[in-house]
Structure 1
Amino acid sequence: MKKIVLTGIAVAGGFLTANAQCKPASDLTENFDTWKDINKCWTAQSGKAMLYASDKRIIFYSMNNPGENMYLVTPEIKTGSYTLTLDLSDNGGDTTLELFSVGSPSDARSYVSITKPSKITGEKKTYTISLKKDSHLGLKVLLNGVHQAVYMDNLTLKAKK
């Protein structure tokens, strides 16, 4: 039992160390083309579902677990106003995207909603967001059916001038 706990602590410590090396950004441009796994400066939280990089995009997949809280969390973003654009599509059904300001990816209490959930329709999404302090941006996808998938690509976050 002690060995399992120590292994978990070592893995978590390695994860925190990797993220500590990532510097706050004032813009992001990511097409996910070179990702074989989730980038070390990003965080994926899939619950009992799946969230992974494949086919030059990010895939949120419900498997047999609809309703899971699935988040893709960006590296830390500097305080300011931004325009976020991204391509989202799904394989049918009822799917939504909600954006969060995230103080710490490992602390669910630091996730604060900054947009209402919006239906994923297969069209490019554009949001204007404001971060009052340096924080991460959390993209929450909700899948309401079994074997549903949402595909995310071409994410761009640009500071408003």
Structure 2
Amino acid sequence: MNKITLVTLVALGISLSSRAQCKTVTELNENFDSWKDIDKCWNAESGKSMLYSSEGKITFYSMMNSGERMILSTPKMKAGTYKLTLDISKKSGDASLELFSIGNTSDLKSYVSISKPSAISGTKKAYTINLKNDAHLGFKVLLNGIHQAVYIDNLVLKPAK
């Protein structure tokens, strides 16, 4: 029984220490080229759809589940005003992007919309973001049809000057 307790405590310690390494940051510059999976300091919510890293970009894929809640969240960002730029494109159909300030990724009540949903129609988006508190920045993609995809790449978030 002592071995089981020891193994459990070691596993818990490793889990907590890996999350503790995710520090609050003041800027991001991510091209996703080195990602094989979603980075441990980011959070992906895909419901019955798929949100994954592949071919140097993040893919939001509806499969057979249009309208599914799909959110990618950054590591926690320091409170402040930021300039956000990203490459974003879609494969067929209508799709939109909405940004959220997220205090705690496991508490839906802490998700606060900071932009209206905007149609994904080009290849680039730029925003000025104001985070009143330290928070994760969430990217909510809504796909309105089956077998639709949205791709995000070259995400840069830096303090506004």
Normalising by structure 1, we get a TM-score of 0.89
Say yes or no: does 1:128 pair with 2:133.
no
Deviation at 1:13, TM superposition (A): 9.0
C-alpha distance in 2 between matches for 1:151 and 1:14: 33
Aligned to 1:81: 81
Structure 1: state its 5+ residue gaps: 1-10
Q: Percent identity?
A: 62
Distance 1:71 1:97 in 2: 10
1:56-87 Cα offsets, whole Å, 9 max, x none, are 00000000000011000000000100000000
Cα distance in 2 for residues equivalent to 1:149 and 1:82 = 27
Query: Residues of 1 paired with 2:41 and 2:140: CA distance?
Result: 17
Contact 1:77 1:136 in 2 (8 A): yes
Give 1:63's aligned amino acid.
M
Structure 2: gaps spanning 5 or more residues: 1-10
Residue type matched to 2:142 in 1?
L
Equivalent residue number for residue 104 of structure 1: 104
Q: Deviations over 1:16-70 (max 9, x none)?
A: 6533321111000000000000000000000000000001000000000000110
**Is residue 60 of structure 2 the alignment partner of residue 57 of structure 1?**
no
Q: Taking structure 1 as reference, are residues 12 and 55 closer, same or farther at Cα in structure 2, changes over 3 Å only?
A: farther
SS at match of 1:105: coil
SS in 2 for 1:29: strand
Aligned to 2:119: 119
Q: Match of 2:137, as an amino acid?
A: L
Q: Distance in 2 between matches of 1:101 and 1:24?
A: 14
Residues 18, 41 of structure 1: 8 Å contact kept: no
Deviation at 1:123, TM superposition (A): 2.1
* Separation (CA, whole Å) in 2 of partners of 1:141 and 1:33: 21
| Per-residue deviation, 1:122 | 2.7
Which of the pair has more CA radius of gyration? Answer: 2
Q: Which residue of 1 aligns with 2:94?
A: 94
Whole-Å separation in 1 of the counterparts to 2:96 and 2:16: 29
- The one-letter code sitting in structure 2 at the alignment partner of 1:134 is D
TM-score (norm 2): 0.89
